[in-house]
Amino acid sequence: MAKISVIGAGSWGMAVAWLLDGKGHTVNLWAFEPEIADAINNSGRNPIYLPKVQFSERTTASSCISTALIDAEAVVMVTPSIGVRATAEKMAETLPQDTPVVILSKGLEAGTHKLMTEILEEVLGNPSRIAALSGPNHAEEVSKAVPSATVIAAHSPDTARYFQDLFSTPFFRVYTNVDLIGVELCGAGKNVIAIACGMCDGMGFGDNAKASLMTRGLAELVRLGEAVGAQTDTFRGLAGMGDLIVTCTSKHSRNRSLGEGVARGDTLEGYQQRTKMVVEGAVACNSIYQLAKDRGVDMPITRFVYEVLYEGLSPEEGLGLLMNRPSKEE
C-alpha cells in the first residue's frame, strides 16, 4: 500500500481520499482550514464537505502543506482551479522532482489561459510525472461507491498507468488517454455549457431546449479543441460527452444549479456566498471566452453565459440572441 497526499479537502478531495483510504492506502490530507483538519483527525469526518463520509485511522489531515507531503509516494491535487498555481508553488518547496502528481481540478488560468497541468509543469517541473483525471464523477456518488468511470491523461504512459492502478476499484473504472489537452479542455468547457443548461431549467424550458444546448455546446467545444491541438475523439468520450451529460443534468451539479438560480434572479456572488463553494464554470467561462476570441473560434453559448454572468445580459435576452442567429448548416 502507498502513502498518498491529497491536497484539498472539499467535496471531491474527500471523495477521492475516501476511495484511496478504502483501498488500504495511507492518506495525508491538506485542508486549508485548520478546523477541518482538526475535525478529520478527531472524528474521521469533514464537518462541512461530505460530512457523512467516515475515514479510517489511515487518513490524517493537516493545514500545513509541507506536513501533508511528508514521505508522499504520489500527490492528488483537488484544489479550486483559481488556487492551483499558488498551491503548487507551496508544494514545490518540499516535493521531490520525481513524485507523481495528478490534478483533478478543472479549468483554465485567468489571463494565461493555461491548463491546470501546464501550470504544474511550469511550477513543479518534470512534465512526465504529471497527469490529469477527468470524467463524469460527482463526489456525492463516488463517495457512496456508485459505479462510475473516469479518464487519466498524461504525456507519459507509465504515469497514466500508475494512476490508473492507484484509483481503480470494482466501482470506479479508470481509462487512460494520451490527449491531455483535450481531456482538460473538456473538463473546463463542459462546466460553462452546464450553466447555460441550468438557465434553461430556471426559465422553465423542457428537454428539447436542454438537449439542443448540450449538443451545440459540445460542437463549440470541439471547434475550440481543434484550434488548440486536441483530438476530436476525446470530446466523444467520458471526459467530453460523458462529463457534459452528467454536469448538465444532475442535481449534484453546482454549475447547472448556478445557472438555474441566475435565471430566477440570483447572482453569481450570492450563490457562492450561500453554498460556500467555487463554481468552476463561472471561473472558466471568462478564460474560455477570451481564448476563443483570440483563436477566432465561434462559441455562441459560451458567449451567452459570459455576458449573462459578467455583462448584465438577462438570460431571456441571451436566449433570444442564440435562437435568432443566422440560419446555417449543422
Catalytic residues: 190
Q: Would you tell me the crossing angle of helices 300-310 and 180-202 to the nearest 10 degrees?
A: 60
3-state class of 152 per DSSP?
strand
> CB-based contacts of 330: which residues, under 8 Å, 6+ apart?
none
Separation between Cα atoms, residue 92 and residue 107, nearest integer Å:
21
- Within a 13 Å sphere around the CA of 322, how many CA atoms are in the beta-carbon half? 23
Residue 133 in contact with residue 103, Cβ under 8 Å? yes
- Within a 13 Å sphere around the CA of 175, how many CA atoms are in the beta-carbon half? 17
Query: What are the φ and ψ backbone dihedral angles of 329, each rounded to 5 degrees?
Result: -75, 150
> CB-based contacts of 78: which residues, under 8 Å, 6+ apart?
6, 7, 8, 10, 12, 13, 16, 103, 104, 105
Separation between Cα atoms, residue 268 and residue 273, nearest integer Å:
9
Residue 180 in contact with residue 132, Cβ under 8 Å? yes
The DSSP code sequence of 19-32 is: HHHHTT-EEEEE-S
